Structure 1
Amino acid sequence: MLSVLIPTYNYNIVPLVTAVQQQCSDAGIPYEIITLDDASANTAIHTDNKAINQLPNCSYNILPVNIGRSAIRNLLAKKAQNSWMLFLDADTLPTDNNLVKNYLPYLKEEPKVIYGGILYQPEKPAATEILRWVYGKEREALPADKRTENPYISLLTLNFCIHKDVFNTVHFNESIPNLRHEDTLFSYDLSRAKIPVTHINNPVYHLGLESSEVFLKKSEDAVVGLKYLTDHNLLPADYVRIAKAYNSLKKNHLLGAARLWHKVTAGIFKKNIVGKHPNLLIFDLYRLGYFCSLK
């Protein structure tokens, strides 16, 4: 009935797999948990994660070379033996003992996508990791009714169920650069194919908080990835808010002014973004300026 699919890279996923395996067993359903390591450089992680192979219906295998976020998800889906697939990111953990149980009523209906959502732990992290926590709590940890207002763009691919027939129609694009936004393109392709996305309140905790400097760099990479998608007409300019703002500036011949503005403000904005009290409006303005400065 259910294949739980977990891609990982340099992360100990034993606690996650152990928790989900117990939930699947308690639910009394046919299941498998397939984990693939995308050629992690940390060999100590390999040793830890190999314990997964001792758990019932669980497997852990290491890829010989790194293939990236899109390709590893597609490969996991190819290996899945069941009609319903639950994708979980490595740096997540169920918030309670009912993650699997709460998905089951939705797996008896027509093929579609079900997204359970995400939460961040309420305790503030270290000051050096505050940006990722603030951004996640404000922009990602949304209740189902709020996500339903924009069901496709609100889909994050770290905790969702999908029928294999749907995935055979819409899967992750492996031709794009490995620069983030593969989930954005996936959600857009679902919308084009008119695949329904159901939002429910069945979240996992996102545990993988990187430093503010690292998250800022990843955000810059994501802007580069987004520009690639819009430049190559894989995403419409109005699908993502920053791309829509960029397109508006371009139509009004204001890109030159925006580039100059970014050059002047970038240093000041960065100090706030990686500081103890990051402002998300400033973060948005920085990313927009960075988008405009790309050639």
Structure 2
Amino acid sequence: MLSILVPIYNYNVYPLVLELHKQCMDCGIDFEILCQDDASKSGLNVLNENVNALSNCSFVSLKENLAHRENRNSLAEQAKFDYLLFIDGDSIIIHDHYIKKYIDNLHDFDVVYGGRLHPEKCPSDNQKLRWKYGRFIEDKSAINRKKKPHQSLLFNNTVIRKDCFNKVKFDKNRKKYGHDDTQLSYQLSLLKSKVNHIENPVEHGDIDTNLVYLNKAKESLENLISLYKEEKIDIEFVRLIQLYHFLKRTKSTFIISKIHSIFEKHLLQNLTGKNPNLFLFNWFRVGYLCSINDKN
């Protein structure tokens, strides 16, 4: 029936697994929960070992780092059931019937995405950039996600048929962080996979600090440009790439790159400060994209 796959890196996953295990048992389904730490060598793995005491559950700490894409692929290869539920180790289950809702909505679909939420209050000022972008940009209702079903997929809190996943998989050859979901979702769109969006969110628990998220955003943009230049994603599939392509076609990237270099210091001060502005973050992303093009 259901293989729940939990990639981990330096995080206590036991509370999450305990809740997932309880809900699976309550549903009376065949299931397994596979947890794999990607060689973090974290002291928290002592707590994660408790997962092995639960029925149909396992925790493994890898000796060598696979990186996040291949860690997910590895978990999928080990899975023995027809449906795979990908859920990140820092997710928080916020509904008592989370598993049942997925079971009730699997029929006639290749992929089912439940959505994600960020907490109502930001944990700290130093996490406000990631929290704002998540809460006001990424967190979408099922009704809104259904308008662009493939573009709205994120592969945390997503169920996918194993035979469908095996046709795509995460691209292990890409080394930089970011846009795994974009690339995989685009591949699924080419296969005309049937995607359903439901209201079954998890809460994002481990929110990055401003500087960490900003550095991740930069690396993610570098990866997106690589996908674009290697023609591994269609221009129309990502709005940011549509804009970048327009700017490149109109020979505007050089000008925007120069403006970005002038104001970059001031942008960074705002984005790593106590009250980051999302409009400035979007400008930073466009400017950084153009500066990547200028360097190349």
Could you say which TM-score interval applies, normalised by the shorter chain?
Answer: over 0.9
Is the counterpart of residue 73 in structure 1 residue 59 in structure 2?
no
Alignment of 1:242-257 (within 5 A): 242-257=240-255
Counterpart in the other structure of 2:217: 219
Counterpart in the other structure of 1:187: 185
Counterpart in the other structure of 2:4: 4
Counterpart in the other structure of 2:48: 49
| Kept after mapping to 2: 8 A contact 1:68/1:178 | no
Counterpart in the other structure of 2:27: 27
Residue 274 of structure 1 and its aligned partner are, at CA, apart by 1.7
What SS does the corresponding residue of 2:18 show, helix, strand or coil? helix
Counterpart in the other structure of 2:37: 37
What letter is aligned with 1:3? S
Unmatched runs of 5 consecutive residues or more in structure 1: none
Alignment of 1:122-161 (within 5 A): 122-161=120-159
Show CA shifts across 1:97-150 (max 9, x none): 11101001122x235100000011112221111111111001111100011111
Counterpart in the other structure of 1:13: 13
Counterpart in the other structure of 2:207: 209
Residue 261 of structure 1 and its aligned partner are, at CA, apart by 0.7
| Kept after mapping to 1: 8 A contact 2:87/2:156 | yes
What SS does the corresponding residue of 1:60 show, helix, strand or coil? strand
What letter is aligned with 1:76? L
Counterpart in the other structure of 1:292: 290
Counterpart in the other structure of 2:235: 237
Alignment of 1:90-129 (within 5 A): 90-107=89-106, 109-129=107-127
**CA–CA distance in 1 between the matches of 2:219 and 2:153?**
20
**CA–CA distance in 2 between the matches of 1:179 and 1:214?**
12
| Kept after mapping to 1: 8 A contact 2:5/2:85 | yes
What letter is aligned with 1:231? K
Output the TM-score relative to the length of structure 1.
Answer: 0.97
What SS does the corresponding residue of 2:152 show, helix, strand or coil? coil
Show CA shifts across 1:173-204 (max 9, x none): 11222321111100100001100110000000
What SS does the corresponding residue of 2:208 show, helix, strand or coil? coil
What SS does the corresponding residue of 1:82 show, helix, strand or coil? coil
Is the counterpart of residue 264 in structure 1 residue 262 in structure 2?
yes
Q: Which moved more, 1:218-227 or 1:269-278?
A: 269-278
Show CA shifts across 1:218-256 (max 9, x none): 101101111111111111233222222111111001121
Residue 276 of structure 1 and its aligned partner are, at CA, apart by 2.1
| Kept after mapping to 1: 8 A contact 2:73/2:170 | yes
Residue 259 of structure 1 and its aligned partner are, at CA, apart by 1.0
Number of residue equivalences: 293
Q: Which moved more, 1:241-250 or 1:24-33?
A: 241-250
What letter is aligned with 1:5? L
Q: Percent identity?
A: 37
| Kept after mapping to 2: 8 A contact 1:170/1:186 | yes
**CA–CA distance in 1 between the matches of 2:150 and 2:276?**
27
Moved over 6 A (4+): none
| Kept after mapping to 1: 8 A contact 2:32/2:57 | yes
Output the TM-score relative to the length of structure 2.
Answer: 0.96
**CA–CA distance in 2 between the matches of 1:138 and 1:14?**
29
**CA–CA distance in 1 between the matches of 2:147 and 2:58?**
37
What letter is aligned with 2:73? N
Give me the CA root mean square deviation: 1.1
What SS does the corresponding residue of 1:169 show, helix, strand or coil? coil
What letter is aligned with 2:141? P
What letter is aligned with 2:36? L
**CA–CA distance in 2 between the matches of 1:41 and 1:292?**
38
What letter is aligned with 1:99? Y
What letter is aligned with 1:194? K
What letter is aligned with 2:277? N
What letter is aligned with 2:163? D
What SS does the corresponding residue of 1:238 show, helix, strand or coil? helix
What SS does the corresponding residue of 1:205 show, helix, strand or coil? strand
